[in-house]
Amino acid sequence: MATDEGVRLLLIGPPGSGKGTQAKQLTERYRVPHISTGDMLREQIRKGTSLGEEAKGYINDGNLVPDELILSMLRVRLSQSDSQGGYVLDGFPRSHAQAEALDALLERQGQNIKAAILLVLDDETIVKRLCNRRVCPECGRVYHLINHPPKTEDRCDEYHCRATLIQRPDDNETAIRNRLRIYHEQTQPVVAFYKEKGLLKAIDASREILRVQIDIERALEG
């Protein structure tokens, strides 16, 4: 079998740990697509597809979408031409079963994961971060009312957009704490899964964005 030279990275971490931000940096560095299962689901919801309608109730309550829904969507995405040379996968796997399913899928394709990057951040910091997060419903740009506020209150900075910012339904404190409970119960076994394989790179996500980025690059080079 030919050597797999694709750069396939996983980003693991609780909601609000900065996976989306770091994924953007990694995709630019390695010139591979950022595949976010959360973004894919939100797009399905926005379009009003049957998958989106089914997933909507789970997401708004802060619960995990069933594996079979995620996997069917992910198989299609990973088969597309732009992902053949690699990708940064954000938001998946979120359970031991999903990790095993991804492993089996990649093995059938003769592919493998280069590293699983774990962003580490405590719960209280996450709650503060997410309660102050706002998103543009038109262009998807993300703001933070304290750390990265819009120039005009409640309005997107993009000149072609200027839409009214919203708070995601799952960014209220009750839903956030439920998401964290689920993360600790179901996602932590994923950490053990990749640690056992020697692929895990744990990174302190409480530091400033650039510092986290540098730490990730050094861990991957090492």
Ordered by start, the domain boundaries in the chain are 7-122+187-221
Q: Determine the pLDDT at residue 1.
A: 40
Quickly name the fold that domain 7-122+187-221 has.
Rossmann fold (3.40.50)
Q: State the pLDDT at residue 15.
A: 85
Higher-confidence residue of 128 and 44: namely: 128
Q: Tell me the one-letter amino acid at 30.
A: Y
* Residues acting as catalytic residues: 19, 94, 133, 168, 179
pTM of this structure: 0.78
Among 61-70, 146-155, 174-183, 190-199, the range scoring the smallest mean pLDDT is 61-70
Task: Look at residue 194 and tell me whether its pLDDT is greater than 70.
Answer: yes
Short-list 72, 82, 17, 8, CA closest to 40: 72
pLDDT of residue 156: 95
- DSSP lists the bridge partners of residue 143 as 134
Calculate helix-pair angle for 209-221, 19-30, nearest 10 degrees.
50
53 pLDDT tier (thresholds 50, 70, 90)? confident
- pLDDT: is 85 or 44 the higher one? 85
The pLDDT tens digits for 25-42 are 999 999 999 998 878 888
